[in-house]
Amino acid sequence: MEVNKLNGAPVSASEFVKNEVAADAANAIEVAHIVKKFGDFTAVDDVSFQVKEGEIFGLLGPNGAGKSTLIRMMTTLIPITAGSARIAGHDVSKEPDAARRTIGVIPQALTSDLDLTVEENLTIYAKLYDVPTKHRKEAIEELLETVDLTKWREAQTKTLSGGMRRRLEIARGLVHSPKIFFLDEPTTGLDPVSRVAVWEMLTNIKSKRKLTVLITTHYMDEADRLCNRIAIVDHGKLVALDTPEALKASVPGSNVIEVQFDNPPADWEQKLRALLEVTSVQNESAGMFRVLTGNGSRTTTDLVGMAVEAGVPVRTLTVQNTTLDDVFVHYTGRQLRDELVKAYSFMMPPRPGMQP
Query: Which residues are near ligand ADP by CB under 6 A?
Result: 38, 41, 43, 61, 63-69
* β-bridge mates for residue 233, sequence order: 238
Three-state SS across 209-239? CCCEEEEEECCHHHHHHHCCEEEEEECCEEE
What is the chain's percent helix, strand, coil content, to nearest 5? Answer: 35, 30, 35
CB of 28 to ligand ADP, least distance (A): 21
- Within a 10 A sphere around the Cβ of 162, how many other Cβ atoms? 14
CB of 20 to ligand ADP, least distance (A): 28
DSSP for residue 211: -
Three-state secondary-structure class, residue 48: strand
Question: 183: closest CA among 74, 300, 256?
Answer: 74
Instruction: Name the segment binding Mg ion (CB under 5 A); options: 62-70, 187-195, 205-213, 269-277.
Output: 62-70
* β-bridge mates for residue 105, sequence order: 182
Q: Rule CB under 5 A: say whether 322 interacts with Mg ion.
A: no
CB of 74 to ligand ADP, least distance (A): 12
Scan residues 106-165 and list those touching Mg ion (CB under 5 A): 108
Residue type, 319: V
Q: Rule CB under 5 A: say whether 255 interacts with Mg ion.
A: no
Q: Rule CB under 5 A: say whether 75 interacts with Mg ion.
A: no
d(CA 133, CA 96) in angstroms, rounded, equals 26
Question: 88: closest CA among 174, 34, 26, 35?
Answer: 26
Going along 243-339, which residue ranges are E strands? Answer: 255-261, 278-285, 288-293, 314-321
Q: Which does 63 bind (CB under 5 to 8 A by kind): ligand ADP, Mg ion, none?
A: ligand ADP
Beta pairing class for 2-3 and 10-11: antiparallel
Question: Binding residue for Mg ion (CB under 5 A) from 51, 68, 92, 174?
Answer: 68
Q: Residue 53 or 184: which CB sits closer to Mg ion?
A: 184
Three-state secondary-structure class, residue 19: coil
CB of 51 to ligand ADP, least distance (A): 18
Q: Residue 105 or 307: which CB sits closer to Mg ion?
A: 105
Q: Residue 61 or 264: which CB sits closer to ligand ADP?
A: 61
Q: Residue 68 or 322: which CB sits closer to Mg ion?
A: 68
Instruction: Name the segment binding Mg ion (CB under 5 A); options: 103-111, 241-249, 274-282, 317-325.
Output: 103-111
CB of 239 to Mg ion, least distance (A): 17
CB of 348 to Mg ion, least distance (A): 19
Q: Which does 61 bind (CB under 5 to 8 A by kind): ligand ADP, Mg ion, none?
A: ligand ADP
Cβ(208)–Cβ(214) under 8 Å?
no
Contact residues toward Mg ion (CB under 5 A) are 67-68, 108
